[in-house]
C-alpha cells in the first residue's frame, strides 16, 4: 500500500481523484482494520497536515474544519460558547488519546449511528461541505447519512468543513448520552438539543437522537412546543416523542426496550440542559459530568 | 496498632515498566524465529470428521503444522485428566486448539491456520449450569468415566465435581426458626483480562528446551510441558520476562507445550502472541459463572440458626484447576458466620464454555455477592441494620466457624466496625445515594517453597527464588526480609527469579502466597548466611558467634561496639575460602483442626490457615431513570495480619476494589445460544477505567498472626477482591428497594429491578 502526506487541499483532491482514500486521525480506519472489519485501502492520503482543514472560523455561518480534533472542539472558546452541544459530545469521545487524533470530519463521514458529534450537528442545523476535483457543494446531514456506515458522498469527495448558521440570541445546546463507564465508551443512546428562548417561552427547540435508528435522526413535531414554558410537561412531551420515534435494536449493549426508555430520558435531559444554557446558566462541558447524567458526577 | 517493621518502599520494577525499557515476552526475538498461529473450531461443541493440513503445509513460508497426531498420547490436567493438547475427535469449546502452525511471519501463520481444512459435525451445546446438570442432558465428555481422577473426587457425567458441607441438623433447626428467608442469585462468568495478552517463545538446543512465557506459575508451566511432551524436568527450562498482569488468568500451564512442540518440529525458535480475542476465549482461566440458592433461618433475636444452600458452578469444557471450587464456593456462601446447622451442596458442571480457573479469589466475589445480598435481606427480615445483624452473627476470636474451625485471634468484628465507622463519618448522603456494607473472608495457602541466597565477595547479595512477579510487587518485599536478617542495606540485594533453570521450587504468583511462603524460605536462607557471617566475625573479633550483632553493614560484638568489622570485609574473606551460600525452604505451617462438621468430596479447603477478613462499605449513587450506578467511595477495612509494606498493601487493596467495581457493574461474559462468547473484546467487555475509580479509604487491622507468613503476615492479593461487588449490591438495593439478582448489576438490570421488570431481561427464573 502507499500513503501520501498532503499539505494542501489541491493535493488531497488530486489524490482522491486518483483513487486514494483520506486518513486523518485513523481512529476508525486503523482500528477497523485491526479488528478485521475492513482492510486498509491500498492507497491513502493523509489530510492532517492541510492547514485550511484545521480552522475554526467564527462568523455567519460558523465553519469548523474537518480535521479539527475532538480535543480542540471540547476546549475551543467559540465551540464551547456557541456550539456547546458539539463540545459536550467531543469531550465524551473515546479516551484522551482518541480525542487528540480523532477529528470532526472523520466522525461525521464514518456515518455511524452511534457517532457522538452527529446529533449536535443536526440540532445546530449544520451542513457538510464536500470538495472534489470538480468543485465544492454543501449537503444537509439528513441527505449525507444514508445508513449505518454509509454516506452520499462520492469517492472523490472530501468533507472539508461543517458549516453552521450563526446562533440566535438566547440560544443554548447540549448533548447527553447514556454510558456505562466514563471513558472508552460508545453511546448506548444519546440525545442533543438546541433551544432558543423568547423570554421564558420556547422560540424553537430541536432534538436529535444517537444510536436508536440506522442513522442519527431528528425528532419530528416539536414545533407544537413553541410558545410554551420549559416545564415538566414539556420535558415529558419531549421524552415521549423521542421514545416513540426511536426504532432501537437489541444488542450486547442494551435491549430495545431499555433503549426506547432511556432515549426519552436523554432527550428530556438534553432539552433541560440546553434551555438552562439558553437562559444564561453556565453548565460546564460535558453536561454528562456537570449534571451527573447517568449518575456520573 | 501498627506493627510495621520494614521501611515503606516503592517497588523496584516501576521505572522499567513505566519508561518502556522493561522487556516482555512478546518483545523477544531470536535468530531464525518463526511465528505461531492456532486453528480454532467455529463451534462450541462438535465432532471432527476430517482434518486436512496439506494446503497449509504447502504454503510458502510454513515450516510446521501440528495436530493431535503429532504429540504424545497424553490426557492431562489437575485432578481429572480430561484433556489433550490438541482436540481429539471432539471439540468442546470455541477456544479449543485443533491445530497449530509455525511460519516465517504472523500473517502467513494466520493464513495457513485458516487454510487447514476442518470438517466438524455440530453436537448439542451445553450452554447453562442447570441445563448441564439436568436429567438426560447431552454429555460434554461422553467418555468421562474413563478419565483418571484424583482420590476423593465425586463426579458423574456433566457433574464434574461434587462437594457438600454438613454441620448439625439443618432441617430440624430450620423448622424451629422464627424467620426463614430464601434467595437466588446468578453470576455471569467474567475474565481476568490482563493488559498483556499471553506470549510464548520456545527454543530447543539439543534435547533441552527453553521457554519464555507469560505465566504466573513457572513451575506449573514446566510440569505441564514435561507431562504432555513426556520430557524429564531437567530438560525443560521456563523463564518469565516482565509479566503484564495476570490476576490469576495466567496461573498454571497453558500453551507452552504447543509452542515447544512446534519449535521442535520446525527446528526453529517459535513465538506465539495472542490477540485480544484469543486472550478472551482460549485460556483455561476465566472466572466461573455461578448460581447460588440460600435459605436461612433466624431466631427471634436475629441470630442464624440454620442455613441450607445449593451452588452450581460453570466449570466449562475441561478441568483446569477447579477441583476445589465447589468446596470453596460452599464455604463462601456459608460465610464467616456462626452457624451450627448447615447443609450446602455445591456442584461443578461441565458445559461447552471456556474452562474456568483460578481468577483472583476464585468463587469468592460471586459467592460473597450472593451471600451478603442474602445477609442484607436477612437483616431486613429481622428488623436489624446491616451492621447490627452482622455484629450478632459474625465469627470472631474464639468462636467456631461453619466448618468447625475455632479461630485464634482474628479481626472479623474489628474490620466490620472500622469500615462501618469510616463510612458513617464520611458525611451526609445525597438523594439516590446509599452506603452498602459487606464482609468477606479468604484463606491463606501454605505450601512448600525454596530460596537460595549467596553473598558475593563485595558484600552484595543475590536471592534466587521460585517466586514470580505478576504485577503485585510482592516479590520486592523479599529483599527487605533478607536485608533485615543480614543487617545490610537493601540496595545490596538483587532478586533472581522467573527461571526454573536457576531457582528452587516455588508456587509462583498464585493464591496470595508470594510473601507467605517464599518469604519464609528467604528468611530461612538468609538466616543461614547470617549465621555464617557471625561465625566469621567471631573468629576475626575473638568473640562468641552468639554475641555478634549484624546491623547497618557492620558485624559487632554485643555490648562492645568498638569491636567490629564491616560485613563487606567478611564477605571478602569468605570469597577466599568457605563461600557464603545457602538454601532455605519454608516449613509448612500446620492447618487448624475441625470439629463437628463433615465435608463430602473434601479437596483440602475445609480448614483455613490464617484466614483474612475484610469489610467494604461502598457509597453508591444510582441514576434511577437509567439504572446507571456510580461508586463514589469505598471504605475498606482489612485484617491481613502484619502489613510489611504499606505502599504495596494499599496498592493491592485499591486494585482489588477497582476490579470488584468492574465485576459488580460492567464485567460479564455474554453467551450466544451457540455457546460462543458474544463480547470477547475490550469494547463490549467493559472493564472499569481509571476515570471510574472511586475514592478508596483503607484501614488495616494489624493482628500479628502466628503460624502464618513472615512477621505475622497473611496473604493479601486476593482478599481485596472479595467483598466489593457485594457492598455495591447492598448499596444499590437500598436505593432501588430490591436486590439485583444477577451479576454484573448492569444499568439495565438495575433499572429493571427498580421497576419490577427484572423478569423481562432474560434473568433465569
Instruction: Report pLDDT digits (tens) over A39-70.
Output: 999 999 999 999 999 999 999 999 999 999 99
CATH of domain B14-123+198-273: 3.90.1170.50
Mean pLDDT of chain A: 95
Q: What angle do CA B203, B209, B214 make, to 5 degrees?
A: 70
Say how far apart CA B355 and CA B252 lie, in whole Å: 13
Same fold, B290-445+593-760 and B450-585: yes
CB B314 within 8 A of CB B93: no
Q: For residue B643, which of B515, B513, B521, B518 has the smallest C-alpha distance? A: B515
Cβ–Cβ gap B692/A178 under 8 Å: no
CATH architecture for the domain at B290-445+593-760: 2-Layer Sandwich (3.30)
Interface check for B695 against chain A (CB to CB < 8 A): the answer is no
The Cα B156–Cα B324 span in angstroms is 16
The total number of residues written for chain B in this structure: 765
A253 touches chain B (CB under 8 A): yes
Cβ pair A178:B622 closer than 8 A: no
Strand order in the sheet with B609-622: B433-444, B609-622, B629-639, B695-700
Q: Which domain holds residue A193?
A: 171-295
Please check whether residue A179 touches B, CB under 8 A. Answer: yes
Percent of chain A with pLDDT over 90: 93
* Shortest CA gap A59–chain B (Å): 36
Q: Which residues of A touch B663 (CB under 8 A)?
A: none
The answer to whether residue A154 sits within a structural domain is: no
State the average pLDDT over residues A245-267. 97
* Mutation to test the A interface, candidates B623, B677, B690, most A Cβ within 10 Å: B623
Mutation pick from A191, A288, A295 vs chain B, by most beta carbons of B within 10 Å, is A295
Supply the pLDDT for residue A34.
83
Average pLDDT over residues A133-150: 96
Residue B2: its pLDDT value, please?
42
Task: Say if A250 falls within a structural domain.
Answer: yes
Radius of gyration of chain B from Cα atoms?
Answer: 27
Query: pLDDT at position B765, please?
Result: 30
For residue A263, the distance in angstroms to the closest alpha carbon of chain B comes to: 10
Q: Position of cell 511460519?
A: B103
Give residues 430 to 489 of B whose Cβ lies within 8 Å of A: 432
Average pLDDT for A257-281: 97
DSSP letter string, B441-490? EEEE-----EEEEEE-TTS-EEEEES---SSS-TTHHHHHHHHHHHTS-G
Q: Is the peptide bond before A66 cis (omega within 30 degrees of 0)?
A: no
| Confidence (pLDDT) at A238 | 98
pLDDT in tens, B44-77: 999 999 999 999 999 999 999 999 999 999 999 8
- Choose among B155, B13, B181: nearest CA to B80: B155
- Does residue A294 surpass a pLDDT of 70? no
Residue A146 included in any domain: no
Distance from CA of B301 to the nearest CA of A (A): 38
- Integer Cα distance of A173 and A278 in angstroms: 7
pLDDT at res. B1: 35
List the grid coordinates of B149. Answer: 481422577
Sheet of B90-91: strand order equals: B90-91, B46-52, B117-122
Q: With a cut of 70, list the residues of chain B below it in pLDDT.
A: 1-6, 760-765
Minimum-distance CB partner of A258 among B679, B690, B748: B748
pLDDT surpasses 70 at A155: yes
Task: Say if domain B450-585 classifies as CATH 3.40.50.300.
Answer: no
Q: Nearest residue on chain B to A186, judged by CA atoms?
A: B683
Give rounded-to-5 percent helix, strand, coil for chain B: 30, 25, 45
* Strand, helix or coil for residue B239: strand
Q: What total of structural domains would you count in chain A?
A: 1
- Sequence spans of domains, chain B: 14-123+198-273, 290-445+593-760, 450-585
Can you tell me the mean pLDDT for A180-200?
95
CA distance B483 to B6: 10
pLDDT at B6: 64
Residue B302, C-alpha cell as written in the block: 436475629
Q: Is B30 near chain A, with CB under 8 Å?
A: no
User: What is the CATH number for A207?
Assistant: 3.30.390.50
Taking alpha carbons only, the member of A289, A242, A253, A239 closest to residue B748 is: A253
| Chain length of chain A | 297
The answer to whether B438 and B727 are in contact (CB under 8 A) is yes
A31 contacts chain B (CB < 8 A): no
Cell match 415538566: residue?
A232
Instruction: Identify the burial level of B306 via C-beta atoms within 10 angstroms of its C-beta, where 0-12 means exposed, 13-18 middle and 19 or more buried.
Output: buried
Alpha-carbon distance A62 to nearest alpha carbon in chain B (angstroms):
33
Instruction: Give me the sign of the Cα torsion angle B44, B48, B49, B50.
Output: positive
- A40 Cα to chain B: minimum distance (Å): 15
Q: What phi and psi, each to the nearest 5 degrees, are found at residue B116?
A: -70, 130
User: Is the CB of residue B584 less than 8 Å from the CB of residue B527?
Assistant: yes
Nearest of B684, B695, B558 to residue B276 by alpha carbon:
B684
Q: Do A294 and B691 touch (CB under 8 A)?
A: no
Tell me what ipTM this predicted complex has.
0.96
Average pLDDT, chain B: 95
* Strands A43-46 and A2-5, sheet pairing: parallel
With 50 as the cut, is the pLDDT of residue A278 above it?
Answer: yes
B665 vs A contacts (CB less than 8 Å): 180
What pLDDT digit, counting tens, does each position of B462-506 carry? Answer: 999 989 888 888 888 999 999 999 999 999 999 998 899 999 999
CA A157 to chain CA centroid, Å, is: 20
The answer to whether the Cβ–Cβ distance between B628 and A254 falls below 8 Å is: no
Q: Are B85 and B321 in contact (CB under 8 A)?
A: no
Q: Which residues of A touch B684 (CB under 8 A)?
A: 252-253
* pLDDT reported for residue B5: 57
Nearest to B689 among A178, A183, A294 (CB): A183
The chain A residue lying nearest B751, using CA atoms, is: A258
Amino acid at each position: 500500500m502507499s500513503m501520501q502526506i498532503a499539505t494542501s487541499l489541491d493535493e488531497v483532491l488530486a489524490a482522491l481523484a486518483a483513487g486514494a482514500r483520506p486518513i486523518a486521525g485513523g481512529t476508525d480506519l486503523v482500528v477497523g482494520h485491526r479488528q478485521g472489519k475492513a482492510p486498509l485501502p491500498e492507497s491513502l492520503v493523509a489530510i492532517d497536515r492541510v492547514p485550511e482543514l484545521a480552522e475554526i472560523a467564527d462568523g455567519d455561518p460558523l465553519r469548523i474544519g474537518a480535521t479539527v480534533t475532538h480535543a480542540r472542539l471540547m476546549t475551543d472558546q467559540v465551540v464551547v460558547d456557541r456550539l456547546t452541544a458539539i463540545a459536550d459530545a467531543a469531550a465524551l469521545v473515546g479516551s484522551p488519546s482518541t480525542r487528540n487524533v480523532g477529528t470532526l470530519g472523520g466522525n461525521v463521514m464514518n456515518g455511524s449511528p452511534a457517532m457522538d458529534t452527529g446529533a449536535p450537528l443536526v440540532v445546530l442545523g449544520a451542513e457538510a461541505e464536500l470538495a472534489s476535483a470538480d468543485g465544492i457543494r454543501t449537503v444537509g446531514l439528513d441527505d449525507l447519512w444514508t445508513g449505518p456506515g454509509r454516506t452520499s458522498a462520492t469517492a472523490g469527495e472530501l468533507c472539508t468543513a461543517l458549516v453552521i448558521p450563526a446562533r440566535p440570541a438566547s440560544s443554548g445546546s447540549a448533548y447527553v448520552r447514556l454510558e456505562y463507564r466514563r471513558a472508552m465508551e460508545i453511546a448506548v443512546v444519546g440525545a442533543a438539543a438546541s433551544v432558543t428562548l423568547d423570554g421564558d417561552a420556547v422560540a424553537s427547540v430541536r432534538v436529535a437522537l444517537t444510536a436508536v435508528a440506522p442513522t442519527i435522526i431528528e425528532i419530528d413535531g416539536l414545533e407544537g412546543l413553541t410558545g410554551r414554558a420549559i416545564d415538566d410537561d414539556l420535558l415529558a412531551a419531549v421524552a415521549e416523542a423521542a421514545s416513540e420515534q426511536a426504532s432501537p435494536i437489541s444488542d450486547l449493549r442494551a435491549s430495545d426496550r431499555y433503549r426506547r426508555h432511556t432515549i426519552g430520558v436523554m432527550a428530556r435531559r438534553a432539552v433541560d440542559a440546553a434551555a438552562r444554557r439558553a437562559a444564561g446558566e453556565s453548565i460546564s462541558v460535558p453536561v454528562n459530568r456537570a449534571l451527573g447524567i447517568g449518575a456520573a458526577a | 496498632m501498627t506493627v510495621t517493621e520494614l521501611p515503606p518502599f516503592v517497588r523496584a520494577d516501576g521505572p522499567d515498566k513505566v519508561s518502556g525499557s522493561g522487556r516482555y515476552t512478546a518483545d523477544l526475538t531470536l535468530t531464525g524465529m518463526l511465528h505461531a498461529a492456532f486453528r480454532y473450531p467455529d463451534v462450541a461443541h462438535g465432532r471432527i470428521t476430517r482434518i486436512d493440513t496439506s494446503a497449509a503445509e504447502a504454503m510458502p513460508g510454513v515450516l510446521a503444522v501440528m495436530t493431535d497426531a503429532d504429540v504424545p498420547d497424553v490426557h492431562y490436567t489437575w485432578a481429572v485428566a480430561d484433556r489433550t493438547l490438541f482436540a481429539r475427535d471432539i471439540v468442546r469449546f470455541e477456544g479449543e486448539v485443533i491445530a497449530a502452525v509455525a511460519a516465517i511471519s504472523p500473517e502467513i501463520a494466520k493464513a495457513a491456520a485458516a487454510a487447514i481444512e476442518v470438517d466438524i459435525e455440530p453436537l448439542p451445546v451445553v450452554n447453562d449450569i442447570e441445563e448441564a446438570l439436568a436429567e438426560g442432558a447431552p454429555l460434554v465428555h461422553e467418555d468421562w468415566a474413563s478419565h483418571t481422577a484424583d482420590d476423593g473426587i465425586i463426579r458423574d457425567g456433566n457433574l464434574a465435581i461434587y462437594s457438600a458441607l454438613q454441620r448439625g441438623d439443618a432441617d430440624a433447626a430450620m423448622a424451629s426458626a422464627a424467620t426463614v428467608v430464601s434467595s437466588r442469585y446468578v453470576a455471569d462468568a467474567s475474565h481476568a483480562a490482563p493488559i498483556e495478552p499471553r506470549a510464548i517463545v520456545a527454543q530447543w538446543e539439543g534435547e533441552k528446551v527453553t521457554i519464555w512465557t507469560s505465566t504466573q506459575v513457572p513451575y506449573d508451566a514446566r510440569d505441564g510441558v514435561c507431562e504432555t511432551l513426556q520430557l524429564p524436568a531437567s530438560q525443560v527450562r521456563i523463564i518469565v520476562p516482565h509479566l503484564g498482569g495476570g490476576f490469576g488468568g495466567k496461573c498454571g500451564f497453558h500453551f507452552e507445550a504447543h509452542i515447544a512442540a512446534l519449535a521442535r518440529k520446525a527446528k526453529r525458535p517459535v513465538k506465539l502472541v495472542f490477540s485480544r480475542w484469543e486472550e478472551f476465549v482460549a485460556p483455561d482461566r476465566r472466572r466461573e459463572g455461578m448460581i447460588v440458592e440460600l435459605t436461612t433461618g433466624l431466631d427471634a433475636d436475629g441470630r442464624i440458626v440454620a442455613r441450607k444452600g445449593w451452588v452450581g458452578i460453570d466449570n466449562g469444557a475441561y478441568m483446569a484447576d477447579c477441583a476445589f471450587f465447589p468446596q470453596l464456593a460452599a464455604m463462601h456462601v456459608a460465610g464467616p458466620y456462626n452457624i451450627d446447622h448447615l447443609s450446602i451442596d455445591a456442584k461443578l458442571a461441565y458445559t461447552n464454555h471456556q474452562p474456568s480457573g483460578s481468577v483472583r479469589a476464585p468463587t469468592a466475589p460471586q459467592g460473597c455477592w450472593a451471600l451478603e445480598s442474602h445477609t442484607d435481606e436477612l437483616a431486613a427480615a429481622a428488623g436489624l441494620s446491616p451492621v447490627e445483624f452482622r455484629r450478632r452473627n459474625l465469627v470472631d476470636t474464639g468462636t467456631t466457624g461453619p466448618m468447625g474451625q475455632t479461630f485464634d485471634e482474628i479481626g472479623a468484628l474489628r474490620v466490620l466496625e472500622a469500615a462501618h465507622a469510616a463510612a458513617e463519618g464520611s458525611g451526609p448522603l445525597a438523594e439516590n445515594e446509599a452506603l452498602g456494607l459487606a464482609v468477606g473472608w479468604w484463606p491463606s495457602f501454605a505450601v512448600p517453597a525454596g530460596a537460595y541466597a549467596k553473598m558475593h565477595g563485595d558484600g552484595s547479595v543475590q536471592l534466587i527464588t521460585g517466586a514470580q512477579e505478576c504485577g503485585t510487587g510482592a516479590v520486592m518485599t523479599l529483599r527487605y526480609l533478607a536485608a533485615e536478617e543480614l543487617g545490610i542495606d537493601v540496595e545490596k540485594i538483587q532478586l533472581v527469579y522467573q527461571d526454573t533453570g536457576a531457582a528452587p521450587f516455588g508456587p509462583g504468583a498464585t493464591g496470595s502466597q508470594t510473601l507467605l511462603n517464599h518469604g519464609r524460605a528467604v528468611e530461612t536462607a538468609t538466616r543461614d548466611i547470617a549465621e555464617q557471617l557471625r561465625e566469621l566475625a567471631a573468629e576475626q573479633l575473638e568473640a562468641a558467634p552468639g554475641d555478634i550483632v549484624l546491623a547497618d553493614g557492620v558485624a559487632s560484638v554485643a555490648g562492645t561496639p568498638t569491636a567490629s568489622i564491616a560485613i563487606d570485609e567478611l564477605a571478602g574473606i569468605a570469597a577466599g575460602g568457605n563461600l557464603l551460600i545457602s538454601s532455605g525452604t519454608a516449613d509448612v505451617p500446620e492447618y487448624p483442626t475441625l470439629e463437628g462438621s463433615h465435608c463430602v468430596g473434601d479437596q483440602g479447603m475445609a480448614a483455613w490457615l490464617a484466614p483474612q477478613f475484610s469489610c467494604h462499605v461502598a457509597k453508591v449513587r444510582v441514576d434511577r431513570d437509567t439504572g446507571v450506578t456510580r461508586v463514589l467511595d469505598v471504605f475498606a477495612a482489612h485484617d491481613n495480619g502484619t502489613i510489611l509494606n504499606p505502599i504495596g498493601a494499599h496498592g493491592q487493596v485499591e486494585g482489588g476494589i477497582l476490579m470488584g467495581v468492574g465485576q459488580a457493574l460492567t464485567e460479564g461474559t455474554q453467551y450466544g445460544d451457540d455457546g460462543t462468547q458474544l463480547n470477547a473484546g475490550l469494547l463490549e467487555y467493559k472493564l472499569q477505567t481509571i476515570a471510574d475509580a472511586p475514592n478508596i479509604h483503607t484501614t488495616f487491622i494489624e493482628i500479628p498472626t502466628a503460624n502464618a507468613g513472615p512477621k505475622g503476615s497473611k496473604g493479601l492479593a486476593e482478599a481485596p477482591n472479595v467483598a466489593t461487588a457485594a457492598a455495591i449490591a447492598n448499596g444499590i438495593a437500598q436505593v432501588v428497594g430490591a436486590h439485583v439478582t444477577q451479576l454484573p448489576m448492569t444499568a439495565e438490570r438495575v433499572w429493571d429491578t427498580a421497576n419490577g421488570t427484572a423478569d423481562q431481561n432474560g434473568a433465569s427464573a
